[in-house]
């Protein structure tokens, strides 16, 4: 059995789907769990009941970064870093829209502005 704590799309020949990268907490380096948006802020609900390893005094063993963008591990390469808080928010905000607007030809995706993303559409608000 292989346990993977990080699932980037760059380790296989085929890339992940857009929605997979934009909605999977493991792909984003956050670790296993569920992502929820509460009052405009993203939260990670860990897959395990233990959200902190008391023996090692670290928040999680399966995350590269926490939801606030704080790195949880050091790397041996200067140019390798996790996403910061602003990047995580933009990535996750796009993920909400990818449920319905699946490709780049969609009007919503063609006009996407990461600094001012569109408000969730009426369909999204009715189904959530």
pLDDT tens profile 43-65? 998 887 555 556 666 556 788 89
Contacts of 6 (CB under 8 A, 6+ apart): 26, 29, 64
Measured from the Cβ of residue 1, the count of other Cβ atoms closer than 10 Å reads 2
Average pLDDT over residues 58-74: 83
Average pLDDT over residues 87-98: 88
The predicted model scores a pTM of 0.73
In this model, does residue 78 exceed pLDDT 80? yes
């Amino acid at each position: 059995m292989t346990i993977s704590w990080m699932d980037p799309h760059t380790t296989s020949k085929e890339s992940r789907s857009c929605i997979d990268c934009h909605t999977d907490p493991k792909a984003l380096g956050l670790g296993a769990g569920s992502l929820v948006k509460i009052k405009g802020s993203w939260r990670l609900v860990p897959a395990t009941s233990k959200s902190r390893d008391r023996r090692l005094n670290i928040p999680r063993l399966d995350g590269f970064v926490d939801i606030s963008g704080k790195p949880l591990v050091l790397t041996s390469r200067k140019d390798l870093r996790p996403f910061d808080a602003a990047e995580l928010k933009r990535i996750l905000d796009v993920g909400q829209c990818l449920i319905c607007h699946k490709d780049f030809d969609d009007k919503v995706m063609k006009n996407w502005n990461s600094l001012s993303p569109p408000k969730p559409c009426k369909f999204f608000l009715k189904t959530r």
